[in-house]
Structure 1
């Protein structure tokens, strides 16, 4: 349990923040999100890229964001800003560098080489955004390409566009891709974050999508508005009932050690139930430590 506690990091709510907006960067210091993605890509206009890069790197290196996991999203490899972004972000040493549109193991290898070449500290990992059909079909190769890659991030808006699909309740057009990415993450021991929900005024729809993501197995959700943080935190944390049940299972397992058959509330308890209960308590304790 101790080793699991040390390795587990809650990522229930990971909020994109435009690095060109000084007010947003300041507000992020007080938000109860588990992680921040200081954005240099979609949220930043071309003529503001250089200033945003400087602001994001200063913020990431400041130590002013407490227990939040601070990452920087660079511009994609096909843009003029990519190399400068990678160099500056590596030297700033955030918790991770988030790269959009990663679609192959070769791209991961190139990114890891660039981080090492630019002097990124060991604690700075790589988060790969999966946003295209090709990425979904090669998700396991991408996830397993490097130990430095720690998190897969779903880019659902771009995936919808690439599929010629539509945003619909239940996300039926995306379920195959989401499932492939989840399988890849779990088979390689990586974390995986669900994509964003676009309508910040549709609370019911957002919460339904959070529940769906949690039920599918995602570790948390990427967000575009501070008002979404509380809902994601609740959805991706174990419920009080789940925590109580996990404690009961572990106690029954301990009490019945050596008896051959262990039951809890009339149901047989096996190793797989014990492992799930341990993970639930690990999550609960890690979240409690943050709070």
Structure 2
């Protein structure tokens, strides 16, 4: 069995909305971010905090990776959010606008002081110019940090940029963050797509994110889940090719040059093929 945790589709859900929390139990996303920040009005935040903690403790979300997004560092809700999330023990605590390695270490210390179990990891949101300049250090700051989450809406705002097809204004930030995640060995999620009615544009952005190397995408609407799962899972053709390439490699070891479909096969191709199969097996296990 693969030890890969699929995070193809990770859906934000407002923790102040009990119906949304109930509906999330049946949505076929790989992960959930139970939100205490942007999706929750200030006067509803204490109740949302309790609801998110209760949802995590319920164990009713199956194999989904369930996380809680707390309010940002320095806000009046942050400390109480972090303690409640740590004690609830989700798979991850998502923190917005993490700007430095020192902030990562401070967050990890606070989680551990609050009694977070070992399986509760830190997910750091990268969404400011300062974070982009520090992203390599952020990604490597703690073994407890497991995922980088791109906050593309805030990045566009902070850069005075525009949302455009192809995301040219964001490509430098996305690429640097991907490099940092891969260097540190952590997963990384692409940002959200805002126009829930633009299916063509959404699919194009999913394809771009997959081609760049993201592990999955954060989402704002349940209707985005199914196409994201399909886009970020290995296709049947990719699985068949990976299996065939590995067979050719194993059959040809010791014979000098190995080829598959008229292309030379090297160890790096085999490693990529094995990764494809690991992701496929993990997806099958999650959906099985």
Same fold (TM over 0.5): yes
Separation of aligned partners in 2, 1:264 and 1:201: 42
2:179 matched to 1:158? Answer: no
2:80 matched to 1:84? Answer: yes
2:137 matched to 1:141? Answer: yes
2:65 matched to 1:74? Answer: no
- 1:44 corresponds to which of 32, 40, 47: 40
Separation of aligned partners in 2, 1:220 and 1:106: 27
2:18 matched to 1:22? Answer: yes
Separation of aligned partners in 1, 2:93 and 2:64: 15
**TM-aligned CA deviation for residue 290 of structure 1:** 1.1
Give 1:288's aligned residue: 284
Separation of aligned partners in 2, 1:158 and 1:102: 12
Give 1:247-258 correspondences, 5 Å limit. Answer: 247-258=243-254
Give 1:276's aligned residue: 272
The one-character-per-residue Cα deviations of 1:144-176 (angstroms, maximum 9, x if unpaired) are: 000000000000000000000000000000000
**TM-aligned CA deviation for residue 73 of structure 1:** 0.1
- 2:120 corresponds to which of 103, 120, 124: 124
Separation of aligned partners in 1, 2:83 and 2:271: 41
Scaled by the length of structure 2, the TM-score of the pair is 0.99
Superposition RMSD on alpha carbons, in Å?
A: 0.6
Give 1:177-196 correspondences, 5 Å limit. Answer: 177-196=173-192
Separation of aligned partners in 1, 2:64 and 2:286: 9
2:223 matched to 1:227? Answer: yes
Structure 1 stretches of 4+ with a deviation exceeding 2 A read: none
The one-character-per-residue Cα deviations of 1:18-74 (angstroms, maximum 9, x if unpaired) are: 000000000000000000000000000000000000000000111000000000000
Scaled by the length of structure 1, the TM-score of the pair is 0.98
- 2:52 corresponds to which of 51, 56, 59: 56
Gaps of 5+ in 1: none
Give 2:262's aligned residue: 266
**TM-aligned CA deviation for residue 259 of structure 1:** 1.2
- 1:112 corresponds to which of 108, 112, 127: 108
- 1:208 corresponds to which of 189, 204, 207: 204
Gaps of 5+ in 2: none
The one-character-per-residue Cα deviations of 1:173-194 (angstroms, maximum 9, x if unpaired) are: 0000000000000001010000
Q: Tell me the SS of whatever aligns to 2:68.
A: strand
**TM-aligned CA deviation for residue 200 of structure 1:** 0.5
